[in-house]
Amino acid sequence: MTWIIMLGIFVIDQISKYYVVQNLHYLESTPVIPNIFHLTYVHNYGAAFGILQNKRVFFIVISVLVITVFLYFYRHLPKDWMTKIAVGMALGGTIGNLFDRLRLGYVVDFFDFQIWPVFNIADSALVVGMILLAWRVLFTDEDAVEANESLELDLENDQEMTGDDISESDI
């Protein structure tokens, strides 16, 4: 599930950016909900809120490190649904923006709520994924998660069994 979410986020992010680049001129803003939400095509050479402008190599290195750390520690993380979704979202978002930086030298941003810096789908997925992962680590009862994982494994095993596979000892 993690890898499907990661790939889905990456693909949706790239399609949305392609749409914006093909349909808006640089710095053009189209109101979706006037004075509240616009699609505004900008190039982001920095990070959130415009910090660390023109530090492309720095962001590429950080992105590769984040991906490497996630992949290394993934096998040690719980395999519950929240962790799978969180890691998939965080990786998909990181890879989406890394792809832009490698290909274009900047990140394409376009969601503009007028009171907040312009952002994109990858940014949203990364932030939501990290919030879910933090919630999972800080506030989820490990015993409940382990019991749920055990129940999921039991259900998977039950579904794999067919009438031919049942022996007298299973009855």
- Structural domain includes residue 160: no
* Residues tagged active-site: 109, 123
- Structural domain includes residue 15: yes
pLDDT at site 56: 86
Residue 112 near residue 28, CB atoms below 8 Å: no
Range of the domain at 124: 2-140
Residue 151 has pLDDT above 80, yes or no: no
- Structural domain includes residue 162: no
Write out the H or E segment, with its range, that includes residue 120.
none
Out of 42-51, 95-104, 108-117, least confident range: 42-51
- Structural domain includes residue 145: no
What is the distance, to the nearest Å, from the Cα of residue 97 to the centroid of all Cα atoms in its chain? 11
- Structural domain includes residue 118: yes
- Structural domain includes residue 111: yes
Average pLDDT over residues 83-98: 96
Helices marked H in 29-171 — which ranges?
56-74, 81-104, 121-139, 142-160
Q: Domain total for the chain?
A: 1
pTM of the shown model: 0.78
Q: What is the C-alpha separation between 24 and 72, in angstroms, rounded?
A: 39
- Structural domain includes residue 153: no
